[in-house]
Structure 1
């Protein structure tokens, strides 16, 4: 029951964000802004705070990474509004109002206020619109952020606890399921960094997510190379950061996502077996996932787990491509790009 509840909670979160991305007005642009915010804050925090700071002992970078990691709400509100096309000064003042609030609060406020901010420019004279806009938007955005914060913390905390509890009770099963699902998200236009950051995953669940992304990197490399999806530069790019090849992924979802689930599930199971932990929420991506994990695990254990995850990811790609070519290729042909 705990496993069922944990996976159901994750699937509900994925379904909600997918529905928003594809159906809400400017949903895809807003989700891109959220992904940008996760990279701008949690990637910097993961590397500088946990690796350069806590592990290598560089105090300045530890303090700097901790500071940037706490700016998720500011970054999310600002970048979501900029992605949607809001005037930069309105985006910035709304973002600054999210100081000390989480990335999810910033995302929601930024999206809602992207419909309010343009009204100032539409109905007020030039110059007056900016003055009244910044004076009204900032405190109003702060008020909305504070109002929704307790409910969001409770909801995300409950989802994270369900996943964590299920993982502690059945680590190998959750390693398989969680690893497969997170790697699919990592390769999709959604952001696995943003998702794991909003859920606040830490410990073994975050370790599974990180290693799934590391191992799944080799899944993507094999799939792109074998199926000739783009040029060599596309193959290298999708291994380093899958979001850079979203235009190819979305045109060929069947072989890519199927292979990613298999490779991510294998890699996640290996992470659970080795007991890999990661206390850097939002580091669910190939490079940050590996580097952040260095700070929380014995080097020998992490080396063995990462090496085995890479092999497992490669195996997942082989199996996925074989299944696709044998059973699905005629019904779901590949979509190639002339320019790679």
Structure 2
């Protein structure tokens, strides 16, 4: 029952993010900035704190990672307004005002105020607008973050706790669901790093997310090459970071998402069966996710599982290209208007 509950809640949240991206004003740009905030904070934390600090034993690098990881909300509240065209000074003002809050409350504050600040600038004389922003926008930013924070804690973090608990009772099912879903999310506008960070995933679920996304690099490289979506640059780019090819993926959602779910599910089952753990939340990313795993597990086991996940990704890429061999795809030339 807990498994079903967690999965349903997760799918509802993902559906909400998808609707936000497609229907809300400048939703796609905002989600792109959210992914950037996750990279700027959680990816730095993963490399410096868990790899440099814990794995290599360099305290200074651990401090760097800890500092970066604690500022996910601030990063989101700064990058979202900038992406939506707000004066950078005001964007930073919003960001520092939500210091201490998580990435999603910061994102919401940044997004909402991105529409209010430009209106104030239009209606208030130049010079006076700065005073108004300081007096009213700064506290409003923190108020939005404070009001939304309990909602985040009662939904996304609760989903994470449910999935972590269910991973012990139904590891294979969790491997299929989490591996498949997180790998698909890695190719969608919502970053897999951002999602796993917002849910606070740790333990086996986070290990599934990290290594399934790592395996998807091999899968998407093979799949894009065999399907002929673009040239070699396109194939290399999607293998390194799928979001760089978001327009191609969005134009071919069925073959890309189904193939990614298959590959991610296989990798998720492999990780779940070996019982690997990852206590660095938000590390659902190929390189950092793999490296962090060595800090929490036996090195030989991690290497063996990583090779198996890479092999399963290559297999899924070949399988997807066979399944969708006759599927009419949209290529880079069609999408980007090249002749």
**TM-score class, shorter:** over 0.9
Residue range with higher mean Cα deviation, 115-124 or 132-141: 132-141
| Alpha-carbon separation, structure 1, partners of 2:146 and 2:263 | 40
Secondary structure at the aligned position of 2:330 is classed as coil
| C-alpha contact (below 8 Å) 1:213/1:264 kept by paired residues | yes
The CA deviation string for residues 132-183 of structure 1, in whole angstroms up to 9 with x for no partner, is 2123211221122223222321222211112112221110111012101110
Aligned to 1:42: 42
Q: Which residue of 1 aligns with 2:325?
A: 325
In the alignment, does 2:100 pair up with 1:104?
no
Q: In structure 2, how many angstroms separate the alpha carbons of the residues matched to 1:41 and 1:339?
A: 36
Q: Distance in 2 between matches of 1:135 and 1:279?
A: 40
Deviates more, 1:12-21 or 1:136-145: 136-145
Note the alpha carbon deviations across 1:267-294, whole angstroms, 9 max, x for none. 1111111112111111111122112212
Task: Note the alpha carbon deviations across 1:188-238, whole angstroms, 9 max, x for none.
Answer: 222111111101101000100111101111110011111122111221111
Instruction: Supply the distance in 2 between the matched residues of 1:148 and 1:173 (Cα, whole angstroms).
Output: 31
Matched, 1:187 2:194: no
Q: Is residue 328 of structure 2 the alignment partner of residue 335 of structure 1?
A: no
Q: 1:334 to 1:26 in 2, by over 3 A?
A: closer
How many angstroms apart in 2 are the aligned matches of 1:306 and 1:6? 27
After superposition, the C-alpha distances for 1:108-143 in whole angstroms (9 at most, x for unaligned) are: 111111111112211111111122212321122112
SS in 2 for 1:250: helix
CA contact (8 A) 1:10 1:163 kept: no
Count how many residue pairs are aligned between Structure 1 and Structure 2. Answer: 336
| Correspondence for 1:122 | 122
Match of 2:18 in 1: 18
TM-score normalised by length of structure 1: 0.95
**Aligned positions of 1:83-98 closer than 5 A:** 83-98=83-98
Task: Give 1:339 deviation, angstroms.
Answer: 5.1
- Partner SS for 1:282: coil
Question: 2-side partners of 1:112 and 1:46: how far apart?
Answer: 29
2-structure distance, mates of 1:226, 1:147: 48
Structure 1, 218-227 or 231-240: larger mean CA deviation:
231-240
Deviations 1:85-114 (A, max 9, x none): 111111110000011111011011111111
> Contact 2:108/2:144 (CA < 8 Å) preserved in 1?
no
Matched, 1:226 2:222: no
Which residue number in structure 1 is paired with residue 134 of structure 2? 134
Counterpart CA distance in 1 for 2:132 and 2:109 is: 19
Unaligned runs of 5+ in 1: none
CA distance in 2, matches of 1:228, 1:291: 31
How far the C-alpha of 1:262 sits from its partner, in A, is: 0.7
Q: Counterpart in 1 of 2:278?
A: 278
Unaligned runs of 5+ in 2: none
Q: What is the CA–CA distance in structure 2 between the aligned matches of 1:75 and 1:145, rounded to whole Å?
A: 13
| Aligned pairs for 1:163-178 within 5 A | 163-178=163-178
Q: Which residue of 2 aligns with 1:33?
A: 33
Moved over 6 A (4+): none
> If the length of structure 2 is used for normalisation, what is the TM-score?
0.96
**CA distance in 2: counterparts of 1:133 and 1:142, whole angstroms:** 13
